[in-house]
Amino acid sequence: MTSINTNNAAMAALQTLRNVNSNLTSTQTAVSTGLRISKAADNATYWSVATTMKSDVGALGAVSDALGLGAAKVDTAYTAMDSSISIVSQIKDKLVTAKEGSVDKAKVQGELNQLQAQLKSVATSASFNGENWVVAASGGSASVVSSFVRDASGGVSVTTSAFEFKAGSMGNVLFGSDGSGGADLSTGILGSAKTIGSSSFSVYSLDIQGMTGSGIDSAMNMVESALSAMTSSAAQLGSLSSRIDLQTSFASSLSDAITSGVGKLVDANMEQESSKLSALQTQQQLAIQSLSIANSSAQSIMSLFR
């Protein structure tokens, strides 16, 4: 039966066309954005996970930047410590020279004064972004960001690696701090004094004029102890630098892994979407043609009245 009030064929063709257009819109969106899940309505669970993980990737990027800043601080301190070891080694060489009885100790002391001045210059200039890790007071500490952590309950935290300062003769800083940003030249590895004969000297204040051979021997032992402490401190800084490098590499790898995981959740398969797009475009054309045929079928009734 043909009805002029109800065109079932046209309604079926129209419904088919609507479905094809809806699927075509979704496919075109996936092709243009590269995402099969671009909003919560597409898949609320996967969208939520992906959004959280993308936020964590951003946090890991900030951690990498902070690690770079921390590495610069540690490298600055290590460079100063390494340079100071070289200078103190030269002081040791001068003391060996001063043991020779015919050597003018006043001239040797002149060279020592220059080396001591250089030690102060190296220590006080080893500052990065306002922080000096080789001129610091005992009990203080510095820290660098090491990682960003999300626990099983969803809580987040940032962990740090600490470096505690010790300003004694066997500590890990060249000089102590005077509390106002300057160096306390009477503390630290280079500033802490030891008794030599009837006087007290530090590596920084050492004066060999008037010293006997045994006094110079004592001075050499003091310098040797300072070298040992400085070597130990440099080793601490080197270990921290190595840990920062490892953490930087891990943060980069972790960021890549999370990004890859998010991609598996929400990225579109472009080969598949391309095939679907071609098929849906063909279906759309056929659905339009089918609707056109269904709409024109009612006009055939006119021939019955001729």
CATH class of 48-266: mainly alpha
Q: Which helix (H) or strand (E) holds 231?
A: helix 213-266
Q: What is the mean pLDDT of residues 115-127?
A: 95
Residue 1 confidence class, pLDDT cut points 50, 70, 90: low
Phi-psi region of 116 (alpha: psi -120 to 50; beta: other; left: phi over 0): alpha
The pLDDT value given to residue 298: 67
* pLDDT at position 61: 86
pLDDT value of position 109: 94
**Would you state the pLDDT for residue 97?**
92
Over residues 127-142, the mean pLDDT reads 92
For 133, 148, 236, the CA distances from 246, given in Å and listed in that order, are 21, 14, 15
15, 290 Cβ separation under 8 angstroms: no
Q: Are strands 156-164 and 176-177 parallel, antiparallel or unpaired?
A: unpaired
Model pLDDT for residues 8-40, shown as the tens digit of each residue: 788 888 888 898 888 888 888 788 888 888 888
> What pLDDT sits at residue 56?
86
Lowest mean pLDDT among 47-51, 131-135, 267-271: 267-271
Overall average pLDDT of the 280-304 stretch = 79
Average pLDDT of the residues of the chain: 88
| Residue 36 confidence (pLDDT) | 84
pLDDT-derived band at 229 (thresholds 50, 70, 90) equals: very high
Tell me, what's the pLDDT at 14? Answer: 85
Digit-coded pLDDT (tens) for 184-199: 999 999 999 999 988 9
Q: In this predicted model, what pLDDT tens digit does every residue of 51-97 receive, in sequence order? A: 988 888 888 888 888 889 999 999 999 999 999 999 999 999 999 99
**Which of these ranges, 121-130, 217-226, 259-268, has the smallest mean pLDDT?**
259-268
What is the C-alpha separation between 138 and 292, in angstroms, rounded? 89
Give me the percent of the chain exceeding a pLDDT of 70.
96
Hey, where are the domains in the chain?
Answer: 48-266, 270-306
Q: Look at residue 305 and tell me whether its pLDDT is greater than 70.
A: no
pLDDT of 304 > 70? The answer is no
Q: How far apart are CA 10 and CA 16, in angstroms?
A: 10
Among 56-60, 149-153, 232-236, which range has the highest average pLDDT? 232-236
